[in-house]
Structure 1
Amino acid sequence: MKYLLTPLLLLWLIPIVFGQQRPFDVEQRVKQVETGLMPAVQIADQTPVRYTLTDRMRQLAIPAVSIAVINNGQLEWAKAYGYLSRDSLNPADTQTLFQAASISKPVAALGALKLVEQGELSLDADINQYLKSWKIQPSWFTEKQPVTLRGLLSHTAGLTVHGFGGYAKDKDVPTLVQILNGAKPANSPAVVSDTTPGVRVKYSGGGYVVMQQAIEDVTGETFPAFMQKTVLGPFGMTRSTYEQPLPASLTANASVAHYGNGRTIPGNWHTYPEMAPAGLWTTPSDLARYIIDVQHSFKGESTHILSAAMTKAMLTPQIGGHGLGPAVTEKDGTLAFSHGGSNAGYKCQFWASADKGQGVVIMTNADRGMEIIQELMRSVSAAYGWTDFKPVTKKLAQVSSKQLGKLAGRYTFRERPNLILEIATANNGLLVKQLWNQYEFRLLPESNLAYFAEDDGGSVRFETATDGTITGLLAFGRERWTKVN
């Protein structure tokens, strides 16, 4: 085990179940999910690897995991595991709050789209028409094309600031205008235009802060009050709020944020005044209500917030494939919408089909949570027979130590030479270290020159000169690296 855990986390983790009685087949599926976690890669001719949820929570130092599964258009089950924190004997339950992080974005997008339907905002007009407290500064890029709400929602507005770090309990919290200007006490740079709008996807949490300001300027309401009235209330999301900091009345059953080593974040969690991109507190069951209503609206079965036409527009891929809020994909005839989230000490993910009534929401309170989330996504998919999230199977080759030695060395990224990979031999494979962030991962061989990442199956192929010397590598089909020694 990489990290030493407190005795508390070595206790048998207590599951808290949504509802009292469920059909036997649902109980079987729950059991299959709990015991069927699997890595992204399975090795051919070897016994398939399976984990239990409780074991992985201990190994990854994750105090709490909460899950909700949608089947046949309804919340089939929800269950929470573990404790509010590593230092607490209070068990997590299905009412326990987590920070939704970037899942805040697709929920917030519903509020903006509702204003579009009401004629208060336009998807394709210059967003500066609606901003009163702050304006996007003109640039060479906006001369060609204005920043629009469509661009903000689909990350094609060409704005800066990918994400936000939040504010520790003892730090001053900036106003929205200070955040947009990058002025103290804001800890993020100013939101500016640095790419022509509508040209490509450029993920921008900063763009959603602009949207938050526009909503407040148009409605004259605080963003949390607007979202409560417009989205959270109509969806019945009674355990959800955009209030930042979290109201004292809700802290008793809020999960505590944890670093990757299992230690609690000082002050229990960070505050995010960037509410639209990162500030939602919620539960998997409440997010399931959001998903189910979107699914029903997409099929024209209910219109609690958006019309069927606007819901379909929201789930229509824009430039680069992102929708107006959620990510949108189509595979094997299934249109799906999804989003992940990563705040300090919280990781979460949801996935849902648009028209087949399927979905899953997973929330955790630790920085290594995404590892267990991906394993759980594969487990849920297997239990319900979904076509998504299946592990890939790779055939392992035996490569001589001499050949592995030829591949070892330093490689630089052609487009950014300051980025360096250091590759060393390791047990019939290669250990790759990204020197700029010290992240390590292992490559296993499919042949002398073809390798795959042990953690996710991504492919790496080494390139050679005419004399057979190693000149570089192509990683994951898109990144070219040059061997320097």
Structure 2
Amino acid sequence: MTSHASGVSRRGLLAGGFGLMALAALPPNARAAARCTVDDWMPSEAFLQDLPRQMQALGVPGIAIAVVNEGRLAWSRSFGVTRAEGGAQVDERTLWEAASLSKPVFAYTVLQLVDRGELALDTPLVQYARPDYLGDSPWLERITVRDVLRHTTGLPNWRKDPANEKLVPAVAPGTRIDYSGEAIVWLQLVVEAVTGESLDQTMHRLLFESAAMHDSSYGWDAAMAARSVYGHRAVDDLQPGMPQQGLRDAWDAALPIAERWRKPLSTWRYADAERALPLARANVKPGVLNWPSDILANAAASLRCTAADYARFMSLMVHAHPAAWELRPQTRTAMLTPQIALPDRWTEKGLGWNIEATPAGPVLYHSGSNAGVFKAFALGDATRQRAIVLLTNAANGNLLYRRIVRASTGLDLLAFDV
């Protein structure tokens, strides 16, 4: 186990005028709401002492947890190993797959470009970039940056056969929620077009360097591989050997080409991945590489970072006094404001975030799953300037992070069950 802690102290249940007896007298739902309004979100020491038992039971070899309190990184710890058999102990430098937690980070930088006047939320993507894999649909002309960030493009999450299948929306944009990694990748190509940079170059220039996220990258190299965790199957999955590792498998096939070209993967743009794809296929089993985005830094899924780095990003979402380089206050507010009114929804879509009402007020959240063996979750409360980040290396990581969220925050999110 490794840990990091700042000078922020853990507040007791007596904070804010709540006495233990008064809290105990409340009904269960009210107790949860009251606890959430006064307590920080650090897991208790008693819970952490029991965590290895829970990890073993659920088959989760490693987990990293970080907490934001009063708008800044307050605490982080890592437990377990990078790999169940022969893995190193995880520590504060271990890199984890953030999976779809990549999307809100990318959304933040897209909105930085909006603030700078380089993108417009309601301009159609085709006015910036029209990839040749788009199909034939008049709805494509209407998909905007806002549609991508609130998941109202009508596009699928991922095409089943991207090598042979054109990308088209199923419905008109702005009419329903369709969670779409494909839309995020298209927006990534838009960012390439307006910046003239690779995704990772733009993310470092606009966000990572300023936010002190020095252990974050959407790319891949040998040094990152050595620091990164491996994913693991669920305990009841008895298939022999390690499961497919998704991005690691794909990028390991592309890395020799990057080294031969003397062009790091983090600097590749879509055209580079197109050129490299037939060469990379010679280094991997059939079916692993299907289209150029499989070996390109992916705004929807390929962020690797430490838990502390992701918590530094979460602090940007929940703290009250942004620095000059951060999003304008009204832009950050838009990220956390419902962007489309649809009937019968229990959760809302902001710009890059899900928003759920709770007894303690609205929270922002996002989950992540890569290759079925990396599970991640981030939760924030902008009103009270706090957040929690959980990164795991197992198929059952979602079962574990839900237990930690419930124990640490008092919140039992509908997102966990619906």
Common fold by TM > 0.5? yes
Residue number in structure 2 paired with 1:464: none
**CA apart distance, 1:163:** 4.5
Residue number in structure 2 paired with 1:177: none
Q: Which structure 2 residues correspond to residues 363-442 of structure 1 after superposition, within 5 A? A: 363-382=391-410, 388-389=411-412
Local SS of the residue matching 1:153: helix
User: Which stretch of the first structure deviates more once superposed, 342-351 or 119-128?
Assistant: 119-128
**Bigger relative contact order (CA 8 A; separation at least 6):** 2
**C-alpha distance in 2 between matches for 1:119 and 1:23:** 41
CA change 1:371–1:121 in 2 (3 A) is same
Q: Which structure 2 residues correspond to residues 37-436 of structure 1 after superposition, within 5 A? A: 52-134=50-132, 136-142=134-140, 146-160=142-156, 162-163=157-158, 182-183=162-163, 189-243=165-219, 246-261=220-235, 264-266=242-244, 269-271=248-250, 272=294, 273=296, 275-296=298-319, 299-319=320-340, 320=342, 321-332=348-359, 334-344=361-371, 345-382=373-410, 388-389=411-412
**CA apart distance, 1:353:** 0.6
**C-alpha distance in 2 between matches for 1:314 and 1:142:** 24
**CA apart distance, 1:330:** 3.4
Local SS of the residue matching 2:388: strand
Q: What letter is aligned with 2:121?
A: L
CA change 1:20–1:234 in 2 (3 A) is closer
Matched-pair contact (CA < 8 Å) for 2:133–2:167: no
Matched-pair contact (CA < 8 Å) for 1:293–1:302: no
**C-alpha distance in 1 between matches for 2:68 and 2:99:** 21
CA change 1:29–1:328 in 2 (3 A) is closer
Larger Rg over CA atoms: 1
CA change 1:337–1:316 in 2 (3 A) is same
**C-alpha distance in 1 between matches for 2:215 and 2:350:** 26
Q: What letter is aligned with 1:17?
A: S
Structure 2 unaligned blocks of 5 or more: 13-39, 251-293, 343-347
Deviations 1:284-336, CA, capped at 9 Å, x for gaps: 1111100112223xx34434331111111111111252111111233346332
Local SS of the residue matching 1:234: coil
Matched-pair contact (CA < 8 Å) for 1:284–1:362: yes
Q: What letter is aligned with 2:316?
A: D
Residue number in structure 2 paired with 1:427: none
User: Which stretch of the first structure deviates more once superposed, 206-215 or 319-328?
Assistant: 319-328
Deviations 1:47-95, CA, capped at 9 Å, x for gaps: xxxxx31112111211101101122222221100001101125100122
**C-alpha distance in 2 between matches for 1:123 and 1:251:** 36
**CA apart distance, 1:118:** 1.6
Aligned Cα root-mean-square deviation (Å):
2.8
TM-score by length of 1: 0.63
Structure 1 unaligned blocks of 5 or more: 1-14, 36-51, 166-180, 383-387, 392-455, 459-475, 477-485
Deviations 1:12-36, CA, capped at 9 Å, x for gaps: xxx111159985879995413325x
Q: Counting helix residues as a fraction of each chain, which structure ranks higher?
A: 2
Matched-pair contact (CA < 8 Å) for 2:66–2:76: yes
The count of aligned residue pairs is 333
